[in-house]
Structure 1
């Protein structure tokens, strides 16, 4: 991008390849999936010109379960083989959060891909996906554009139904995707979701920042959130290891951040390219860190036959809004929607990396329950009823309540 910002699309692609090299010999492919979206025409005498379509790429990593099954082929009963086929027929789709990319799921791919096809993507405007889409400055239109890009990606991937996992901002977009395309989402997993509620006086009172950081927070609310990285120029690559050890240390099992810059390099190159996705996120906020429209404000539009799991980090900055998550769960239950809320102990906002084994186990449980549901519904014509045992994930809601009580006074954390 020039002398001031030492980055380029090629360097970002290399950073992605570097972060994925820790994945063992699991069969996967990574490619650009092309989608078509309307080009926004110019206005002529108060009317928009005819809209044409333009192609954009969505960076996608896919794990080929069929190849894995052939490699591990052998002595299983016909019942087990039938279960495996059904499990394999239900894909898992993973959507990253703000300022991230598909590379940060590296602690999760191996386990999750062992039992089902896994697809993860870079959101439009982030990481290695196209950054030349001009998102609307209207908040709801911007969300709709993201939802449409996800739907076009689904069509290009020839997916029917799938379990959808979204983290943070990705969880927010996944929620709105489910509202628009409920028949495509077999189960929605919201991993420490951002955007539970819009800004209220009560919510704002919980968002307390150290006085020394107030000027920085002010600037972030006025400009694109990560503009500081681009403004810092050649200093930025050295700032990430110093300022974000909280994230880098989570990946020490594969890349020791004290001696290896793989994670820091990936985060840096993901966030100093053209900030189209970042600008879209800024448009959706009112102001940071709240959305113009919260998830709980749209709970009335959640279909009654939806199934939702929320995974919250007990030490996340989002934890201060845990009551909103529990209220959302209660409102969904009143609608008849199955909604499980579990708290991951000793986990921050990045629940997928803090306790990857626990996170992977919970996602695998969701997958297993949905496969059993599919098997039951195909074996008879009666409505499938999930047993009480299958509705309980570990850690349980009772554990969540205990954790909530212990963490009740930890609401003054700095982001």
Structure 2
């Protein structure tokens, strides 16, 4: 959720306000590369360490206020112009979202990620205008019921949160599975959504060339990714470019591993369950992925991101058990969004990385279907030097584009 900047009131001295200094947090462990270091990392895993892994990322946000207890005698002075924020709920995941913000902007992370992945995006976006287990009973052939129940597990939680926060209307920014669920929420509660910004959204096209998990785990640091220093702006791709990328993704001969993964996906297996059962080998396996995929980040950042990924992966499973009901083998939706977006009457932005394993062809088809239904406010954009995690690969271009899309005026009255 995007933070709202607030002006601090001056203390009695007239020079600033006194705020508690956040309690000291130990740095993340080195990413495990040996059995012994992996064992130590696995042994140290706990709910407290999981919360700390998220807080380390949030502490890079200037207005983050730790919810952890702190000594009252450790204080510092902030100038009147600095950003502060007071969480409106006990969770650090909600920053400055109140009923007076209209519309609020809410960010939904993707499958296998968490809200902490947006640590490079909260601050720039804040300057814009102010576990339970799913129980799904289904007939395998009754796709409509199966998808509806799985979507409800996520959507109704978001709706309950919206009501609790007193938010009348929201802009939704969703990445990957979060993009799919943002769209599903907008279709069910159209009066509650002002616009959708979908970052490499899952579930858009009719088909896909491989399993989502396989592609995510095999993705490497995109060529040209250089956090905060890639100044190439986002662009609108040509029809030829989108078609060429779509054709290049077809795989004629799936490997034995892929066939097994497809079978396991249909059986409801979760890749996180496999990692959990690896026990003390798990941190090293996750570390190999973290180092390969996010190696362009600074040393401290990649360690913190790895620690966050590890704790998300080994946490008690919840929504992960719904995903196979939403997405068929191949990372495409059982009820593709491309066939559903015609009911949307709001601006929708489809954004992909230029080296994204998600296919922008679906986004282009969705924009065309929206136009045919009378909604000309669909847009397709490409972020240079970026893969699936475009908000970390090229945060500068991603943040500028999101702000531009938030400011974009609809061409029709919705």
Q: Aligned pair in 2 of structure 1 residues 116, 271: CA closer, same or farther (>3 Å)?
A: farther
Q: Aligned pair in 2 of structure 1 residues 324, 367: CA closer, same or farther (>3 Å)?
A: closer
| Equivalence for 1:146 | 154
Do the aligned partners of 1:199 and 1:286 also contact (CA within 8 Å) in 2?
no
Equivalents in 2 of 1:335, 1:106: separation in Å? 37
Q: Aligned pair in 2 of structure 1 residues 300, 187: CA closer, same or farther (>3 Å)?
A: closer
Equivalents in 1 of 2:261, 2:385: separation in Å? 26
Normalized against structure 2, the TM-score is what? 0.66
Note if 1:290 corresponds to 2:332.
yes
Do the aligned partners of 1:27 and 1:64 also contact (CA within 8 Å) in 2?
no
Aligned residue among 191, 194, 208 for 1:186: 194
The ranges of structure 1 where at least 4 consecutive aligned residues each deviate by more than 6 angstroms after the TM superposition are 200-205, 383-386
Equivalents in 1 of 2:255, 2:156: separation in Å? 40
Equivalents in 1 of 2:372, 2:341: separation in Å? 11
Normalized against structure 1, the TM-score is what? 0.66
**Aligned with 2:339: secondary structure?**
helix
Larger relative CO (CA 8 A, sep 6+): 1 or 2? 2
Note if 1:340 corresponds to 2:379.
yes
How does 1:2-401 map onto structure 2 within 5 Å?
A: 6=43, 7-25=45-63, 26-30=83-87, 60-63=93-96, 89-117=102-130, 130-134=131-135, 138-199=146-207, 206-207=250-251, 211=255, 213-214=257-258, 217-218=261-262, 220-221=264-265, 222=267, 223-250=269-296, 252-253=297-298, 255-257=300-302, 261-302=303-344, 305-319=345-359, 322-337=360-375, 338-370=377-409
Do the aligned partners of 2:102 and 2:169 also contact (CA within 8 Å) in 1?
no
Q: Aligned pair in 2 of structure 1 residues 298, 354: CA closer, same or farther (>3 Å)?
A: same
RMSD: 3.4
Per-residue CA deviation, residues 190-228 of structure 1 (Å, 9 max, x unaligned), is 111100134489999825787474376346524113222
Equivalents in 1 of 2:207, 2:197: separation in Å? 24
Do the aligned partners of 1:314 and 1:343 also contact (CA within 8 Å) in 2?
yes
Do the aligned partners of 1:28 and 1:61 also contact (CA within 8 Å) in 2?
no
Q: Aligned pair in 2 of structure 1 residues 59, 197: CA closer, same or farther (>3 Å)?
A: farther
Gaps in structure 2 of 5+ consecutive residues = 1-39, 64-82, 139-145, 211-245
Q: Aligned pair in 2 of structure 1 residues 28, 247: CA closer, same or farther (>3 Å)?
A: farther
**Aligned with 2:385: secondary structure?**
coil
Structure 1 stretch displaced more, 135-144 or 323-332: 135-144
Query: By how many angstroms is 1:264 displaced?
Result: 0.5
**Aligned with 1:170: secondary structure?**
helix
**Aligned with 1:367: secondary structure?**
helix
The structure with the greater share of residues assigned to strand is 1
Q: How many residues align?
A: 310
